[in-house]
Chain A
Amino acid sequence: AQSVAQPEDQVNVAEGNPLTVKCTYSVSGNPYLFWYVQYPNRGLQFLLKYITGDNLVKGSYGFEAEFNKSQTSFHLKKPSALVSDSALYFCAVRGQTGANNLFFGTGTRLTVIP
């Protein structure tokens, strides 16, 4: 079965510093991986996806993610954090049926400290 794990419930980072939100995956077959962000009282918003190709994927709001097959990881990164980046971040993997049914990790709450 497809699954992702987010080992950190909470990540704190100072404004202007680089940030990393971790995700590892377990899949059968080729992984289709996603990052979504959730702001308070809102639905999830798509940030970026990895399907194939370059291991460094660029997404919305200056975020990027690095796919590492040997470590089965798909960490979300940003070179310089903003206070407005504070939110709940979800890693997700596509299900096996070939459709867009995504299975999400438990989420990591990012707090950027001014």
Chain B
Amino acid sequence: DAGVIQSPRHEVTEMGQEVTLRCKPISGHDYLFWYRQTMMRGLELLIYFNNNVPIDDSGMPEDRFSAKMPNASFSTLKIQPSEPRDSAVYFCASSFGSTNEKLFFGSGTQLSVL
């Protein structure tokens, strides 16, 4: 298995633009998580899905952020409009089952909003 695949690896955009981050989880995994990593706040859980259904989005900073999982093999995190404070590394992770199994992380998307 190729692991969790995220695209793009790097994204540079201007304030006000729409940004879409993509994630392909490991096949067969039924949980998908979006995390954001910054120096100031560390790793923050933004939202997670179970069987394509959003379970907890309490970590989503504000309405500018939205996430979807249209099928078991694809998820997007969208920021519209983007702001400089959104600059961070965004990680997607997946896991199988709810019996405390480990999370598998993608390599992340480094987002810079100018």
Give me the interface of A with B, judged by CB distance under 8 Å.
Answer: 32, 34, 36, 41-46, 49, 51, 90, 94-95, 97-107
Contact = CB atoms under 8 A, between A and B. Distances in A.
A43 B95 contact: no
28 contacts: A36-B103, A41-B108, A42-B107, A43-B93, A43-B105, A43-B106, A43-B108, A44-B43, A44-B91, A44-B103, A46-B104, A49-B102, A51-B100, A90-B43, A95-B56, A97-B55, A99-B31, A99-B48, A100-B97, A100-B98, A100-B101, A100-B103, A101-B55, A102-B45, A102-B103, A103-B45, A104-B43, A105-B42
B82 interface: no
Nearest to B94: A100
Contacts of B50: 99
Interface of B: 4, 31, 33, 35, 42-43, 45, 48, 50, 55-56, 91, 93, 95, 97-98, 100-108
Given A43-B106, A99-B48, A104-B42, 20 more contacts: A36-B103, A42-B107, A42-B108, A44-B91, A45-B105, A46-B103, A98-B98, A99-B50, A100-B97, A100-B98, A100-B101, A100-B103, A101-B33, A101-B45, A101-B48, A102-B33, A103-B45, A104-B43, A105-B42, A106-B42
